[in-house]
Structure 1
Amino acid sequence: MPHPEVAEVFGAQWPRLVATLRADLGDLDLAEDAAQHAFAVASERWHADGMPDAPGAWLLTVARRWAIDQARRDVRWARREDDVRAALELPQRDRGPISDDLLAMIFGCCHRALDEPARVALTLRYVVGLPTASLARSFLVTEATMAKRLVRAKKKIAASRVPFEVPDRDLLADSLDDVLKVVYVIYTQGHAAPTGELVRGDLCDEARWLAGTLCDLLPEEPEAWGLAALLAYTDARRPARLDADGEVVLLRDQDRSRWDAEAIAEGRRLLARALAIRRVGPYQLQAAIAGAHASAPTFDDTDWRTIRRLYAVLARLEPSPVVALNEAVAAALSEGPESGLALLSPIAEELDGYHYFHLARADMLATTGERDAARAAFDRALELCGSEAERRAIRRVAAEKLA
């Protein structure tokens, strides 16, 4: 078990250490190995000698020296020994909690040359510092399989010559979209994760940390602030998502007194910061929708008309059948189920394999009194749903609506 001081420093220093070493040494594998060696040495030395005043600088020095030793031993790195030695001789740099190296690492791990699972895995491993075993658990594979996936991803990085650098201003927007999507996917994996766990708080926390880091790194990018606000608002509901027995609690039934007031206040602050830049984007709109939910004292008091208008704007900026589905739900709750059903018709074919579509439709049909059609829609939602806990929630809703 790692020394407590080492474990605490690991969370704070791992992203900076690996990012700085990758920039200095030019190789992700070598950077990771050097960082791991430095933390292993720290676990022994700090227990005996105490933690140094500047743990980050201490770890960086140990890691660089180890890298030089490896360069001497490994013929593959023989030609790079001078470069590694030069890195060691750089003056100790206190780049602050946020550095260009870390931003370059994030953009490299999220590069579009990689497929989405690889982007998520690389970001969690090298930016967040999640152990390979935890990654494997998140993806429902063995640790050996995950290790092989990481190796393949790194080979793809080398073959595609993925640049670990901050894109130029004219290319930043597209690259940032890729990064924000990865952060959002990490957060969504924290809910109904493939492990079967309904809430993986560690993944939610890491996604929020990443979003906040991007705000610090790119303070003039409103969508970074928008995503951070969206995650804060959404995560505020985490304490109320499951009941005492671990069963799913739907939004309409959640005890709002259990919602995290500090997270809601943070979401409000982050969204205000995003909107002040006056370049509205999809994440800001989604955050505004989440904020409307967070500000309602009860489900019935929710401002569904405003939510529907926000979804309509979002549909123009980023059209998708799922956005249209959410607008239909808001329309049903603000104007009546007939309005919602009318909006569902054009997307019925595209979302036929999506259980939330059939669940929403079943709810609307039951409200209009079309019990047989509603029952069939509930059955279809159950058929498509992959989570037994969610299926139990669907059965409870169906029993209530069809009673």
Structure 2
Amino acid sequence: MDKRLASAARAEVSEVLRQDRGRLLAALIHAVGDFDIAEEALSDALEAALVHWGRSGVPDNPKAWLLQVGRRRAIDRLRKAKRFRARASDITRMMEEDEAARSADADAIPDERLKLIFTCCHPALEEKSRVALTLRTVGGLSTREIARSFLDSEAAMGQRLSRAKAKIGAAGIPYAVPSRDQWDTRLQSVLIVIYLIFNEGWTASGGDAPIRDTLCSEAMFLARLMSKLAPAEPEIEALLSLMMLNWARRNARHSPGTGLVGLDEQDRSLWNGDHLDEGLSLLDMAVARGRPGPFQCQAAIQALHVVATKPDETDWAQILLLYDRLLTFHPTDVVRLNRAVALAETGALPEALASVDELAEGMEGYQPFHAARAEILRRSGHRKEALAALERAIDLSRSPDEQRWLADRQAALY
């Protein structure tokens, strides 16, 4: 095997996995009607690509090549399965699609991701499973990354994903975008999925990059796609607003020399004005529709951060009220923790510390809890306890960039 070609093949497969795994997998699930077989077929196709491209070079359209090979590998797997007779019509259809693909536009890979999201977010599935399965299939996150998002063990999350895929097959859940009158039962789960994909990219729990641009871009693309499909939907507008207001700070959030830069320490001249304007405009549109929701609360909180010209001009009293409103939608420990931070920023340190300590039992394994508690302890004059909390936060962090940032804060206390 030519070393140069083999290196190019590995690079191209890596690029496809970063940029187009979700789109390819969605297309294969649409063709096969089975999550596991589609995932196995895509894996087969990627392995085949390393061999064939390493010998003959990367084809003109690698994504189309992978989709076609994946479809054929899926056909082979169905033929070998015990349920061959029951799937005979599917095999015939897939063979016809494969034949049609030969004469089709090489770039015409169907974008089935929105269908896949709604399938994963069907009401027949538990909400946590809906979010996790979509993160795995559309976002391409690993089981470990998803488990981290939910504060679960990797083994427990793996079992949850397997059960969710089995239930989709057993219940005959349709692979389709539902009609508009059915959206309300699934919309919030879909939006949570998209935001978690963005958040995983923004916090970059895995890999060396401080921000995983592909995941953030995937989430923003999906939010825009949904906005086109359902215009004038305030929570979709608010979700896109929230992501844009965060994305606007991308260039200031990480410094090559110092690593992660906290919001109150960022150079605001590096913030992207166009993104800020779009985010604020989207929030205005969402609020004007008169149908409040949790993403509007979160976007409004972020807006109050970015409109302040200096950190000490942030309207923390208003942010605290917004967290109170958000708790009516999502009475979770994470929201309570964020509210406690806002409470501390208003100067109510004893009340904030009491609120945080009430959450200790359920958030022992949650890194932001210990980081937030450390800061409140520091401001309250409890130096030793703050050092211990920071040590625990560092131990729980899986991001080298975040570990350095926490270590710097710890060093400042000595």
Answer yes or no: is the 8 Å Cα contact 1:22–1:28 preserved in 2: yes
Where in structure 2 are the equivalents of 1:267-282 lying within 5 Å? 267-282=279-294
Alignment match, 1:251: 263
- Quote the Cα distance in structure 2 between the aligned partners of 1:79 and 1:60: 24
**Quick one: higher RCO (CA 8 Å, sep 6+), 1 or 2?**
2
Alignment match, 1:229: 241
Answer yes or no: is the 8 Å Cα contact 2:25–2:137 preserved in 1: yes
Where in structure 2 are the equivalents of 1:4-403 lying within 5 Å? 14-35=21-42, 51=60, 64=71, 67-68=74-75, 70-72=77-79, 74-89=81-96, 101-110=112-121, 113=125, 116=128, 122-129=133-140, 153-154=161-162, 156-159=164-167, 161=170, 163=173, 164-166=175-177, 172-190=183-201, 193-195=204-206, 199-202=210-213, 203-333=215-345, 336-338=346-348, 340-342=349-351, 344-346=353-355, 348-351=357-360, 353=364, 354-365=369-380, 371=381, 374-385=382-393, 386-387=396-397, 388-396=403-411, 398=413
Cα drift, residue 258 of structure 1:
2.3
- Quote the Cα distance in structure 2 between the aligned partners of 1:70 and 1:197: 36
The answer to which of 8-17 and 235-244 deviates more is: 8-17
Identity value in percent: 35
- Quote the Cα distance in structure 2 between the aligned partners of 1:231 and 1:222: 14
Q: Partner amino acid for 2:325?
A: V
Answer yes or no: is the 8 Å Cα contact 1:24–1:84 preserved in 2: no
Q: Secondary structure at the match of 1:76?
A: coil
Q: 1:38 to 1:282 in 2, by over 3 A?
A: same
Q: Partner amino acid for 2:330?
A: E
Answer yes or no: is the 8 Å Cα contact 2:343–2:351 preserved in 1: no
- Quote the Cα distance in structure 2 between the aligned partners of 1:237 and 1:186: 18
Answer yes or no: is the 8 Å Cα contact 2:35–2:165 preserved in 1: no
- Quote the Cα distance in structure 1 between the aligned partners of 2:179 and 2:267: 46
- Quote the Cα distance in structure 1 between the aligned partners of 2:60 and 2:313: 53
Cα drift, residue 66 of structure 1:
5.5
Alignment match, 2:3: none
- Quote the Cα distance in structure 2 between the aligned partners of 1:59 and 1:148: 31
Q: Partner amino acid for 1:337?
A: G
TM-score normalised by length of structure 2: 0.70
Cα drift, residue 286 of structure 1:
0.8
TM-score normalised by length of structure 1: 0.71
Q: Partner amino acid for 2:166?
A: A
1:134-193 deviation line (CA, Å, top 9, x unaligned):
6668879xxxx9899769734542246352444565653343323333333333334555
Q: Partner amino acid for 1:259?
A: W
Corresponding pairs, count: 378
Answer yes or no: is the 8 Å Cα contact 1:225–1:274 preserved in 2: yes
Q: Partner amino acid for 1:86?
A: R
- Quote the Cα distance in structure 2 between the aligned partners of 1:382 and 1:6: 39
- Quote the Cα distance in structure 1 between the aligned partners of 2:37 and 2:197: 26
Cα drift, residue 228 of structure 1:
2.2
Q: 1:355 to 1:197 in 2, by over 3 A?
A: farther
- Quote the Cα distance in structure 1 between the aligned partners of 2:270 and 2:19: 29
Q: Secondary structure at the match of 2:328?
A: helix
Alignment match, 1:368: none
Q: Secondary structure at the match of 1:337?
A: coil
Q: 1:174 to 1:350 in 2, by over 3 A?
A: farther
Answer yes or no: is the 8 Å Cα contact 1:211–1:228 preserved in 2: yes
Q: Partner amino acid for 1:189?
A: E
Answer yes or no: is the 8 Å Cα contact 1:232–1:264 preserved in 2: yes
1:177-236 deviation line (CA, Å, top 9, x unaligned):
233333333333345555485834244444334433443444453223322221221233
Q: Partner amino acid for 1:275?
A: V
Unaligned runs of 5+ in 1: 366-370
Q: 1:356 to 1:198 in 2, by over 3 A?
A: farther
Alignment match, 2:4: none
- Quote the Cα distance in structure 2 between the aligned partners of 1:323 and 1:305: 16
